[in-house]
Structure 1
Amino acid sequence: MKTLNYQVLKESGYTGYVLEEGPEKVLQFGEGNFLRAFADCWFDLANERVGWNGKCVLVQPIPQGLAKEINAQQGLYTLCLRGREDGQSVDRRRVISAVSRCLNPYEGEDYQAMLEVAVSPELEYIVSNTTEAGIVYDPACKLEDQPPASFPAKLTQVLYRRWQAGQPGLVILSCELIDNNGAILRDCVERHAAQWGLEAAFLGWLEGCTFCSTLVDRIVPGRIRDRAEQAELEAELGYADPLLDVGEVFGVWVIQGPEWLADKLPFRAAGLNCPVVPDVTPYKHRKVRILNGGHTGFVPGAYLAGFDIVRDCMAHPVVRGFLEQMLYREIIPTLELDRAELEQFARAVEDRFDNPFVNHALLSICLNTVSKWRARNLPSLLAYQGQTGQLPPCLTMSLAAAIQFYCGHMEELTDQGLVCRRSDGTAYTVSDDRWVLEFCWAHRGDSAGELVRAILSHEQMWGMDLTAVDGLTAAVTADLEKIRADGVLAAYAACLEARP
């Protein structure tokens, strides 16, 4: 079977949108699965829906990558978006044609080609996703390196060359999963400029570049791991595609930037979920507390109740009811954004948890539950109590379930973690920081009340002494005793019976 390129695509009988030629408007650092399933997909949709007429030049940020494979397919690849949308199963396929080529600046003439793109009058945007470790200032990088090792140093070279050519500033969209990614990237560039002794006029020109902190949200498994399924799909498509990418249907790109950027970017006009806002913080809280907090809030208990994957939990009325009460009655009221917008996001989260194409293992979500619960759920619990003077039943129960997950039936502490056993006899290993596991193991003989007090008073775990929260110790102790006596499902159901 022939591998995908423009000629093979024509021969396959594909009838979808394709843009074979167009100006290169985006220089993108990162050619991996996420950006190809997210940013490049959005630029491709903008080409189709609003005639944006732009191509993306990808840059391989490290010596090993996909440049050869992408160029062999002339930038084309198939994207499968799978999941649930408005409660309905969705499996969409699309050939992405927004990529023109991929450069590997570590080989041949591609470093110079990258700088040639930098000075192009057609260039408007720089997009990056170089992993959380990608935005770091590395003083070992030099102006004369071809290329320098770090992404910020490469970007500084690109922007400096553009300034030397007399071209205007660019919009830089950082997608790395760190807080204030755009601001940190700007700081790295300015530090390199100072280290390299670049002209003051260049620093002034940088003020005309818009460094945007962004929040991205789309789960991208990246590939079909079942070879038989991949072969069946390629037979249906009529071509082989080693670059085939898979992502969930849901996607949102929140961009912190000036008002004019909302009109300049082609995404809003294309009907894509891309708010341009003065501050991404409320949207980060929305994601962390609803999506991530939803997972951490119900999953440890659901695992103890005998469930193994997220989708199966969504089919059980008690577990789903527990999640929904936690989201809509306890978490959403504590957040800053419009209630209707938050509820719409929560409904999308439920669809994402119910994705029929993803077997999301509960045990993988339970990794490092202590730090996750502190970051994702504790702020909601404290905010709810601050607003109402009461403890949120489901969030309080979720803390008790997390304690039971760690300390319920401990058998041994090994180099791999704390070996426990759930009520159906299944052994599992709790993975967390060593000091957390050793603390739990040391308290294996405690009563429920003693254990709860020891854990809640551990300031290193929570950043505060939670026994100081009015009524929390007694409530978590009662919940833990309920779990141990009647099981998690009965305990979750009791929260629903107690709802106001």
Structure 2
Amino acid sequence: MLTRKELNLPKYSEKVIQFGEGNFLRCFFDWQLDIINKNTDLNAGVAVVRPIDFDAVPLLDTQDGLYTAIIRGINESGQVVKDYTVISSINREIPIYKNFKEYLELAHNEHMRFIVSNTTEAGITFSSEDTYDDEPQATFPAKLTRLLHERFTVFNGDMTKGFILLPCELIDYNGEELKRVVLKYAELWNLGEEFTNWLINGNIWCSTLVDRIVTGYPRGEKEELEKELGYSDNFITTGEYFYLFVIQGPKDILTKELKLEGLNLNILIVDDLKPYKMRKVGILNGAHTAMVPVAYLYGIDTVREAMENDDLREFIESAIDEEIIPALDMDKKELEEFKDAVINRFKNPYVKHMLMDISLNSMAKYKSRILPQVLELNSRTGKLSKKLLFSLAALIRFYKGVRENGDAIQLRDDKHHLDMYKELWMTNNYNEIVKAVLGLENHWDTDLNKVEGMTDLVAKYLEMIDKVGVAKALKEVK
């Protein structure tokens, strides 16, 4: 069992309130904070708030707030790496449903400066059922509003006692959305104009983009890993080597207060997240979505296996180089470096990323992750994105519901899409199938048949894939 005394680890001064005790924040934010604490005088400890009424997992306090983060993957030099670190940035965990008073007392600590959260995409929500006097309120923003009002009251509206908020929920401009919902609660509860002004002007509401695959608790490997570690740890968390933390906010303030100057951390302070979101969606998510139907029909089940296949790896890399990067508005060198990191992530031997998991709702994913690049490249150059449209043809074939070896594909998408494909594939008329799919204006927000040459090209690819198979068809995509 881990203890600070045995490991000679300090307990830092509490400056961070963290909503969520899950694997992601512990392997992402708390891991980065641990590096900052060990290399600067930030001296920032975390008080974790368990925002749900859940007793099945014991409190982090049972291990003195300590746990091991195991970071594994392929580094910038192409080497397989594995790093073990005991993270000491967390001081304690407060179960809010049992210790609401202790939760509110966090607002009384004048040294508290940061609030971090990861309450899932559904966490930043509003409910008119929440009241000021609930102990606690149901939604995360309502709990937060109550805490912020406690802070405002205790320090008499002192503008210097506000927080820097760093929500990590996976929604666009999460800081702005969190502020909007908190202001809505302030209005619902009639907390006054002075408090509203303090919320807006006394706090820094940052939006963030977070990126790291966290594989979490290593159930199947725990015994083996504990032998390597030489100790027992019930809170081991595992994650990939790559990480990126993009924060939209005042660079001078955030760099100074987080002590980032001179540290080699992949934390970017920017004026606008949008280019980084487009880069991630286009290159990382887009490559995933383009890969799935092609690789799965090829007979492959995981991302790593796809990267070990020369034909598929070349297909994905050239799609990124020739059809995705040219459609994005960022520095080309920066985009190429991100692409190299993405390819290394795909090759990670420690992550078993199933293609069928990525395939969920592929119609919506193609629209949001790939179609913007297809249309942008066509607008800029007049050219068709052959590889990305080959992926669309493979996706249409994927929705036939059977692999080339005859095995059924467990399709997971909206019922109306599945019903449509079932009916279309009864015809086996490739041109009609493609025309119908590309003509889904309610889905694509346009009739893709109007893009010159697109219908014929996708139909040609679809016929090739269905008749001779993906492996042979791929060789015709140049």
TM-score with structure 1 length normalisation? 0.91
Aligned mates of 1:474, 1:427 — CA distance in 2: 28
8 Å CA contact 1:105, 1:147 repeated in 2: yes
Q: Report if the CA contact (8 A) 2:290-2:388 is conserved.
A: yes
SS of residue matched to 1:421: coil
Question: 1:54: how far off?
Answer: 1.1
Contact 2:42/2:258, CA 8 A, preserved across alignment: no
- Which runs of 5 or more residues in structure 2 are unaligned? none
Match of 2:372 in 1: 379
* Structure 2 partner of 1:138: 127
Which residue in the other structure is 1:95 paired with? 86
Summarize deviations over 1:38-90 as a string: whole Å, max 9, x none: 01001001011223211011000111157743011110001111111122111
Mapped partners of 1:225, 1:426: distance in 2: 30
Query: Residue 430 of structure 2 aligns with which residue?
Result: 448
Tell whether the 8 Å contact from 1:253 to 1:275 is kept in structure 2 after alignment. yes
Q: Does 1:33 align with 2:23?
A: yes
2:108 and 2:151 in contact (8 A); partners too: yes
Cα deviation code 1:267-304 (max 9, x no counterpart):
45431111111111111111111111001112211110
Distance in 1, Cα, partners of 2:352 & 2:162: 44
Deviation at 1:490, TM superposition (A): 2.4
Matched, 1:460 2:442: yes
State the Cα distance separating 1:252 from its structure 2 match.
0.5
**SS of the counterpart of 2:216?**
coil
Residues 268 and 34 of structure 1: CA distance in aligned 2, closer, same or farther (over 3 Å)? farther
Matched letter for residue 431 of structure 1: R
Match of 1:23 among 13, 17, 23: 13
What is the letter of the counterpart of residue 313 of structure 2?
Answer: R
Match for 1:402 among 388, 395, 399?
Answer: 395
Would the alpha carbon gap of residues 61 and 269 (structure 1) be closer, same or farther in structure 2, given more than 3 Å must change?
farther
Determine which of 197, 204, 228 is the counterpart of 1:210.
Answer: 204
When structure 1 is superposed on structure 2, of 289-298 and 83-92 the one drifting more is: 83-92
Deviation track 1:122-172 (CA, whole Å, cap 9, x = no partner) reads 111000011111111111111111211111111111111111122511100
Instruction: Give the 3-state SS of the residue equivalent to 1:214 in structure 2.
Output: strand
**Pairwise mapping of residues 175-190 of structure 1 onto structure 2 (< 5 A)?**
175-190=168-183
1:80-134 CA distances to partner (integer Å, 9 max, x unpaired)?
A: 1111112211111100000000001111xx3222222212121110000111111
Q: 1:321 to 1:23 in 2, by over 3 A?
A: same
2:461 is the alignment partner of 1:489: no
Q: Please tell me the residue identity of whatever aligns with 2:238.
A: V
Distance in 2, matches of 1:75 and 1:284, equals 33
Separation in 2 of the partners of 1:203 and 1:365? 42
Q: Return 261-270 or 71-80, whichever deviates more.
A: 261-270
**Residue equivalent to 1:287:** 280
- Matches of 1:484 and 1:133, distance apart in 2: 40
1:65/1:127 Cα in 2 relative to 1: closer, same or farther (>3 Å)? farther
Percent of aligned pairs with the same residue?
A: 43
Return the alpha-carbon distance in structure 2 between the equivalents of residues 268 and 374 of structure 1.
39
Mapped partners of 2:146, 2:107: distance in 1: 9
Letter in 1 for 2:67: Y
Gaps spanning 5+ residues in structure 1: where?
A: 11-17, 408-419
CA distance in 1, matches of 2:56, 2:75: 31
Equivalent residues of 1:254, 1:274 under 8 A apart: yes
**Are positions 1:5 and 2:3 aligned together?**
yes
Equivalent residue runs for 1:183-202 within 5 Å: 183-202=176-195
In structure 2, the CA distance between the partners of 1:65 and 1:25, relative to structure 1 (3 Å rule), is: farther
SS state of the match for residue 123, structure 1?
Answer: coil
Instruction: Answer whether contact 1:219 1:248 (CA < 8 A) is retained.
Output: yes
Q: Per-residue deviation at 1:307?
A: 0.9
Alignment check: 8 A CA contact 1:4 1:73 kept: yes
Amino acid at match of 1:324: E
- Tell me the residue number matched to 1:422: 403
Counterpart Cα distance in 2 of 1:485 and 1:442:
19
Cα distance in 2 for residues equivalent to 1:84 and 1:45: 20
- 2:16–2:46 contact (8 Å) kept in structure 1: yes
Match of 1:429, SS state, is: coil
Query: Aligned partners of 1:239, 1:381: CA distance in 2, in Å?
Result: 52
Cα distance, 1:195 vs structure 2: 1.3
Determine whether 1:112 maps to 2:101: yes
The SS at the match of 2:47 is strand
Residue 247 of structure 2 is aligned to residue 255 of structure 1: yes
Q: Is the 8 A contact 2:11 2:88 kept in 1?
A: no
Which residue pairs with 2:311 in the alignment? 318
Residue-by-residue CA offset, 1:175-210 (whole Å, 9 max, x unaligned): 011112111111111111111111321112111201
Distance 1:66 1:277, change over 3 A: farther
- The Cα RMSD (Å) is 1.5
Q: What is the number of equivalent residue pairs in this alignment? A: 470
Give the one of 144, 147, 157 matched to 2:136. Answer: 147
Task: Tell me, yes or no, if the aligned pair for 2:125 and 2:181 is still in contact at 8 Å.
Answer: yes
Aligned to 2:410, the other structure's residue is in SS state: strand
Inter-partner Cα distance in structure 2 for 1:319 and 1:475: 20
Q: CA deviation at 1:427?
A: 2.4
- Contact 1:296–1:369 (8 Å) recurs in 2: yes
The 8 Å contact of residues 31 and 66 in structure 1, kept in 2 or not, is answered as no
* In 2: Cα distance, 1:376 partner to 1:232 partner: 38
Identify which range, 483-492 or 145-154, moves more after superposition: 483-492
Q: Whole-Å Cα distance in 2 between the matches of residues 173 and 139 of structure 1?
A: 25
- Structure 2 distance, partners of 1:244, 1:280, is 31
- Aligned mates of 1:28, 1:67 — CA distance in 2: 17
Cα distance in 2 for partners of 1:49, 1:66 equals 35
Q: Say whether residues 1:128 and 2:120 are aligned partners.
A: no
Matched residue of 2:17: which SS? Answer: strand
Name 2:301's counterpart in structure 1: 308
Q: 2:11 touches 2:89 (CA, 8 Å); kept in 1?
A: no
For 1:354, the equivalent position in structure 2 comes to: 347
Specify which of 331, 335, 358 is matched with residue 338 of structure 1.
331
Mark the CA change 1:66 to 1:180 in structure 2 (over 3 Å): closer, same or farther: farther
Q: What is the aligned partner in structure 2 of residue 234 from structure 1? A: 226
1:479 aligned residue: 461
1:383: Cα distance to partner?
Answer: 0.5
Residue deviations 1:393-425 (CA, integer Å, cap 9, x gap): 111111111111112xxxxxxxxxxxx321223
Runs of 4+ in 1 over 6 A off after TM superposition: none
CA contact (8 A) 1:82 1:92 kept: yes
* 1:436 maps to which of 417, 438, 445: 417
In structure 2, what residue type is equivalent to 1:116? Answer: E
2:46/2:92 contact within 8 Å kept: yes
